[in-house]
Amino acid sequence: MRRRSKIKINPKYALIVCVVLIIGLIIFSFRYGEKLSPVKNAVSTVITPMQRGVNSVGTYISDQLDNFSNINELQEENTKLKEQLATLSYQNKLYLQDKYELDNFRTLYEVDKQYADYPKVAARVISKDSTNWYNVFKIDKGSKDGMKKNMNVLAGNGLAGIITEVHYNNSDVRAIIDDNSKVWCMFSKTSDTCLVQGDLQLIDEGKIFVDFIDKNAQIKDMDEVYTSKESSNFLPGILIGYVSDIKLDSNNMSKTAHLTPAVDFQHLEEVLIITELSEPLID
């Protein structure tokens, strides 16, 4: 009992002190957010290896379970895939031949490649934001692997998100389906631009909201949408997804639509990070 008698503060006063402190902290971080990043960095450097460990244990267990349950399915799939591989590799050869031809033509016409092959690095998704409200996740590469803020993140063949914060051995990625995300895009067929905005209400249907399409744009369902050159943080020419439900906006000035992303955000495990940054706009 000796010890307990020493700390006897009225909780009311403690609460007031803490609330004042936190409000001070909120204002401070709002004003000078960068000053606190070493603290954030230190904390996440300690926690991230644990998350990675737990994550790999989880992967191991679920893999083992999967192994038991669907060996048969896998074998079937394997035979199917082998057939597919054979046909595809034949096609690929044809395409390669075409590509050589195309390259020749290009050099003849001195046209640069429109969408260069960007250099990429692979990373694993190790954790999700602790709330259910946001679609922000962590990857296991950080500043020590050369990650930088605003690098674009791909998964499969489409855009998944953008790096919003870099720590020593991990970085935060905001998915394009996040409620705060906005990307300027364009339709590959007509070159009309549009703004792709994440919306929490559409996530369940696996869709994103598309706004500010030109009223006269000749687009139809399943048209492909790519990132446009107007976007300051995203590299041009990355596939985002396919448009659907095109509607004339109530203000009669523009069209809105929904977009099905090319990335499967439900099962995001491996991602690719483009290590080239979009050139900043100079004013």
Partner 1 sequence: MKRLIIYTIEIIICYVLQTSMFCYIGLADIMPNLLLILVVSYAYMRGRMTGMMLGLFCGLLVDLMSGGYIIGLYALIYMLIGYCIGYTYRYYSNDDYTLPIIIIAVGDLAYGLLFYVFEFLLRGRLNFLYYLRRLILPEIIYTVAVSILLYKLLHMINNRLEHKSGEEA
Nearest-approach distance from CB 125 to partner 1, in angstroms: 9
| Distance from C-alpha of 137 to C-alpha of 144, rounded to nearest angstrom | 18
CA distance 241 to 209: 11
Q: Shortest Cβ distance from residue 60 to partner 1 (Å)?
A: 10
Q: How far is the CB of 95 from partner 1 (least distance, A)?
A: 35
Between the two ends of the chain, the Cα-to-Cα distance in Å is 68
Q: How many residues does the chain have?
A: 283
3-state class of 263 per DSSP? coil
Fill in the amino acid letter for 52. Answer: R
Which has the closest alpha carbon to 127: 91, 169, 158, 99? 169
Which residue carries 């492909």 as its tokens? 224
By C-beta, is 9 or 108 nearer to partner 1? 9
Nearest alpha-carbon partner for 263 in 168, 178, 151, 170: 178
Give the shortest CB-231-to-partner 1 separation in angstroms.
Answer: 21
Cβ–Cβ under 8 Å, residues 273 and 120: yes
Of 168, 163, 192, which Cα lies nearest the Cα of 178?
163
What's the closest the beta carbon of residue 235 comes to partner 1, in angstroms? 22
The minimum distance between CB 117 and partner 1, in angstroms, equals: 30
The first and second tokens of residue 195, run together, are 């703004």
Nearer to partner 1, 99 or 148 (CB): 148
Give me the least distance between CB of 79 and partner 1, in Å please. 28
Instruction: Residue 176: name the closest of 154, 194, 157, 193 by CA.
Output: 154
What SS3 class is residue 44? helix
Distance CA 177, CA 153 (A): 13
- Residue ranges binding partner 1 (CB under 8 A): 1-3, 9, 11, 14-15, 18-19, 22-23, 25-26, 29-30, 33, 36, 39-40, 43-44, 47, 50-52, 54-55, 58, 61-62, 126-133, 136, 138, 164-165, 172, 179, 200-201, 203-204, 266-267, 269
Quick one: DSSP state of residue 177?
A: T
